[in-house]
Amino acid sequence: MTALTLALGDLTREHADALVNAANSGLLGGGGVGGAIHRRGGPAILAECRALRAGRYAKGLPTGRAVATTAGDLDARWVIHTVGPVWSATEDRSALLASCHRESLRVAGELGARTVAFPAISTGVYRWPVDDAARIAVDTVRNTPTSVDEVRFVLFDERAYEAFARRIG
Ligand code: APR
């Protein structure tokens, strides 16, 4: 049974076996939580991302997929980078947001991670409404068989925290 827990604050201050990054397909940094991960995690993370771009993901990491690197100087063993969908009012991209959570858990399981901390993927620059993102994130984690013991959602503001808290119940 996987425990779902919540924290309010900065993901890069959390201790967990794996921290999930809301990345873009280029994997080479950006703003938001990914920018914070690269800043605090140091250059080792970016170096592995560049190697992925030079090899397996030459065209970028597709939306909905996940890949792990070192966590550099962060208090974790791995960063799992996943690419959320950009919110669209005209196209239902929920399956891709669910896939981010499922694929991140799959990668975490392969690594042997027992604790995994997620941000609210797609709810920042990618503009996904946070209540809907919380529904998809929580329901997907609950419905994905995994060897991970704890999934912690780390929310950056009260509004996101409340949305996830309501969903977890
Ligand atoms: N810790 C936890 N959550 C954070 C942090 C942080 N340090 N910084 C931002 N957040 C929150 C945001 O408030 C938002 O709720 O993470 C959520 C996701 O926001 P983004 O990081 O903007 O991610 P996303 O919406 O998936 O957009 C990804 O943004 O920075 C670029 O390179 C990134 O192009 C990619 C896009």
- Per-residue pLDDT, 102: 98
The mean pLDDT of 141-145, rounded to a whole number, is 98
How many Å lie between the centroid of ligand 1 and the Cα of residue 98? 17
DSSP, collapsed to helix, strand or coil, labels residue 79 as strand
Residue 47 has pLDDT above 90, yes or no: yes
Measured from the Cα of 10, ligand 1's closest atom is 1
Residue 1 has pLDDT above 90, yes or no: no
Stated as kind and residue range, the H or E segment containing 98 is helix 94-111
Domain locations along the chain: 3-168
> Torsions phi, psi of 133, nearest 5?
-65, -40
How many Å lie between the centroid of ligand 1 and the Cα of residue 121? 7
> Torsions phi, psi of 71, nearest 5?
-100, 10
Place of tokens 């704890």: 150
**The residue count for the chain:** 169
Task: Judge if the beta carbon of residue 160 lies within 6 A of ligand 1.
Answer: yes
CB 120 within 8 A of CB 155: yes
Which pTM value belongs to this model? 0.98
How many Å lie between the centroid of ligand 1 and the Cα of residue 90? 22
Measured from the Cα of 130, ligand 1's closest atom is 15
Measured from the Cα of 37, ligand 1's closest atom is 7
Domain 3-168 in this protein, CATH class: alpha beta
DSSP, collapsed to helix, strand or coil, labels residue 140 as helix
**Per-residue pLDDT tens digits for 7-36:** 999 999 999 999 999 999 999 989 999 999
Task: Judge if the beta carbon of residue 37 lies within 6 A of ligand 1.
Answer: no
- Per-residue pLDDT, 29: 85
The mean pLDDT of 139-165, rounded to a whole number, is 98
